[in-house]
Chains A and B, each alone.
Chain A
Amino acid sequence: GAVVSQHPSRVICKSGTSVKIECRSLDFQATTMFWYRQFPKQSLMLMATSNEGSKATYEQGVEKDKFLINHASLTLSTLTVTSAHPEDSSFYICSARDQGTGGAGTEAFFGQGTRLTVV
């Protein structure tokens, strides 16, 4: 089945620095990818919808200047956490669907997730 690869799986950074997380669709093209954030023992919270070749759509309450999303190609979306602070520490997950094979009923595939720790 379709595979989504996310990198890195784990990152520790100092407060005030920026961290980039990559999400790749390995065997299909994804015009749209989704970025989620998951807090401990909680569900996934949709942060933004990443659109290839255009601006991302952010959910209410998500700071677009803090969480920069770039979807420069049909197989790669990146999430950059800028000027990270300890409260940004979380588990970030991306997902994408292979729309070419099944339309709206196609399941989403998820990256392995990135555990970000800001110290």
Chain B
Amino acid sequence: AQSVAQPEDQVNVAEGNPLTVKCTYSVSGNPYLFWYVQYPNRGLQFLLKYITGDNLVKGSYGFEAEFNKSQTSFHLKKPSALVSDSALYFCAVRDGGRGNTPLVFGKGTRLSVIA
């Protein structure tokens, strides 16, 4: 079975500071990992993904994430946070060997960037 853990319900960071939103995963096959962001009363917007290749992936709005196989982690990072980054962030995983299966989501981390 697949699972995703986001250990922090809330992350607070000052504007301009670097931010990290943590994610660890469990999957039996090859992990396909995704980050999404959700603004109030909206659907999820895709930020970035790791499928294979370079462990550091870059995505939308200056976000990046690093795949660490030994630690089974896929933390989301941004060098300099903006107030507009404040939102709910979801990490998700799919077993790469299982075809068109749904994503399994973490419980989400609320990011608050303070001016």
A-to-B contact residues, CB < 8 Å? 1, 4, 6, 9-10, 31-32, 34, 42-44, 46, 49, 91, 93, 95, 97, 99, 104-105, 107-113, 115
Q: Indicate with 1 or 0, residue by residue over B4-26, a CB within 8 angstroms of chain A CB atoms.
A: 00000000000000000000000
Range of interface residues on B (Cβ < 8 Å): 20 to 34
Are B44 and A46 in contact, CB atoms less than 8 angstroms apart? no
Are B32 and A104 in contact, CB atoms less than 8 angstroms apart? yes
Q: Per a CB cutoff under 8 Å, which of B96, B98, B108 touches A43?
A: B108
Cα distance A32–B99 in the bound complex, in angstroms: 11
The 5 closest A-B pairs by CB, nearest first: A110-B43, A105-B51, A110-B44, A43-B107, A113-B43
Are A104 and B100 in contact, CB atoms less than 8 angstroms apart? yes
Are A43 and B105 in contact, CB atoms less than 8 angstroms apart? yes
Q: Per a CB cutoff under 8 Å, which of B46, B90, B102 touches A49?
A: B102
Are B41 and A32 in contact, CB atoms less than 8 angstroms apart? no
The minimal Cβ–Cβ distance linking B88 to chain A, given in whole angstroms, is 9
Given known contacts A43-B90, A107-B34, A115-B41, A34 and B102 CB-to-CB distance under 8 angstroms = yes
B-to-A contact residues, CB < 8 Å? 32, 34, 36, 41-46, 49, 51-52, 90, 94, 96-100, 102-103, 105-108
Are A91 and B106 in contact, CB atoms less than 8 angstroms apart? no
A-side contacts of B32, CB under 8 Å: 104-105
Given known contacts A104-B32, A105-B32, A110-B43, A44 and B100 CB-to-CB distance under 8 angstroms = no
Given known contacts A43-B105, A43-B106, A32 and B100 CB-to-CB distance under 8 angstroms = yes
B-side contacts of A108, CB under 8 Å: 34, 46, 102-103
A-side contacts of B46, CB under 8 Å: 1, 107-109
Q: Per a CB cutoff under 8 Å, which of A4, A42, A105 touches B107?
A: A42
A-side contacts of B43, CB under 8 Å: 4, 6, 93, 95, 110-113
A-side contacts of B106, CB under 8 Å: 43
Are A44 and B94 in contact, CB atoms less than 8 angstroms apart? no
Cα distance A46–B97 in the bound complex, in angstroms: 20
The minimal Cβ–Cβ distance linking B89 to chain A, given in whole angstroms, is 11
Cα distance A99–B45 in the bound complex, in angstroms: 18
Are B44 and A93 in contact, CB atoms less than 8 angstroms apart? yes
